Chains A and B, each alone.
Chain A
Amino acid sequence: MHTEHVQYDLMDYVTNRLNAKERQRVDQHLQNCSVCKNQFMELAATERFLKQSRTISPPSVYYTSILPRVRERLAVHKRSLRVYGDGFTKIVLPLAVSALFVMVLMRLPVDSISESPQTEALHQVVIDLNDVEVVQAVEHEYTGYSLSPNLEISAAGVAEHLRGDRFLKSAVSKQIENEEVSDMDFEEIISNLDQEQIDKVLSGLSERNIL
């Protein structure tokens, strides 16, 4: 008789990861269950295919480059902490980021957030970056350093992404499900959208001048 429990052990059976007792149980079951036997044959073919494929590893010298780069990032992080102090990163910065986030959630017109396109872009970038990146971005702004053309373009690009992401979430919830959804549900919805639904969301975003 077919049982799911045995079926779920078949991949481990195929890859030889069952102990002797478990293996014997599956052996016996396969003699009497055509459903599991078919599943076994399919999984065995998949396993053969998986085993044949190959991925080339990076050269070993690559791994020696990881630690120095991690250390470099940590050093930047520490320098930023020194510049702004604990109070800045623990109190002022979270408050500033929260305020910006609330403004975006309230869908204030983007123009009212800041004065220049560059500052606007940076504010948008701030919303979704990690602590180190936030400090770096704010540092650029407060110290008045002008950004390099590449960074400026990247900041604007990233800001567009972030603005799109946030409004997209809202648009998906309201236009497709007509109710608020959790982050997990959102992931599911996104992955299951068909073309018509995608077009609907995009046109909704377009009407509000977000895209």
Chain B
Amino acid sequence: MTNSNDLELVELFQKGNEASFNELVGRYQEKVYWIAHRFLNDHDQADDITQDVFVKVYDALKHFRGESGFYTWLYRITVNVALNAIRKQRLRDFIRIDEFFETADTENAQPDILFEKDEQQKLIEEAIAKLPEKQKAVFILRYHEELPYEEISLILKTSIGGLKANYFHAAKKIGEYVSRAHRTRSI
């Protein structure tokens, strides 16, 4: 089974072979986790999203017809789930009703032993977090995942010209954010 390609595994799953789903999870779990982590900058949330994505994939695989590549389809689900998580997070922050949860979180706060981030990494994460959704998605998929524009175009349903413009503006904003932060700290 490990020699089968993605579409063969999908077909096997559609015929009732559960083990082929396990194989697909094994192949893509790290990728899905990292995309989620780059969107959310948080291990626990990335972990939740990774599980959500594969639960959704399990349910939706029965209807997958192979019109796009499996990983294009999987990445699209991952990006959508991650963006939804960010939207919910933003709303929660915005309406400031989180005091209840924040109190609980502070009490149980544990150092994040998985991700002790350096200052540079924090700065970059802050900069990426401030990007508009589309630019953020394009930057993550192009810079970090190194996907070709053709694939990103299928995932985000955006023209290649639009993607290139988004990528440029995203990188420029990140650079500006970092420079501004450095200037502020040096004053």
Give, as a whole number of angstroms, the nearest-CB distance from A189 to chain B: 11
Which listed segment binds A: B9-17, B66-74, B117-125?
Answer: B117-125
> Can you show 25 pairs from A to B with CB atoms below 8 A apart?
A4-B165, A8-B164, A9-B164, A11-B143, A11-B167, A17-B146, A42-B172, A42-B175, A43-B175, A45-B175, A46-B178, A47-B171, A53-B120, A53-B123, A54-B120, A55-B37, A55-B121, A56-B115, A56-B116, A56-B117, A62-B114, A132-B55, A187-B87, A187-B133, A193-B94
The proximity string for B residues 1-43 relative to A, scoring 1 for CB distances below 8 Å and 0 otherwise, is 0000000000000000000001001100110010001000001
The proximity string for B residues 86-122 relative to A, scoring 1 for CB distances below 8 Å and 0 otherwise, is 0100111011110011000000000000111110110
Binding site for B on A (CB under 8 A): 4, 7-12, 15, 17, 39, 42-43, 45-47, 49-50, 52-56, 58-59, 62-63, 66-67, 69-70, 73-74, 77, 132, 157, 160-161, 164-165, 168, 187, 190-191, 193, 198, 202, 205, 211
CA distance A71 to B112 in the complex (A): 26
Residues of chain B with a CB closer than 8 A to A77's CB: 55
Query: Do A67 and B26 have beta carbons less than 8 Å apart?
Result: yes
Known A-B contacts A15-B143, A187-B87, A190-B94; A70 and B55 likewise in contact (beta carbons under 8 Å): yes
Residues of chain B with a CB closer than 8 A to A15's CB: 143
CA distance A202 to B94 in the complex (A): 10
CA distance A11 to B149 in the complex (A): 13
Binding site for A on B (CB under 8 A): 22, 25-26, 29-30, 33, 37, 43, 47, 50-51, 54-55, 58, 87, 90-92, 94-97, 100-101, 114-118, 120-121, 123-124, 132-133, 142-143, 146, 161, 164-165, 167-168, 171-172, 174-175, 178
Known A-B contacts A46-B178, A198-B94; A53 and B172 likewise in contact (beta carbons under 8 Å): no
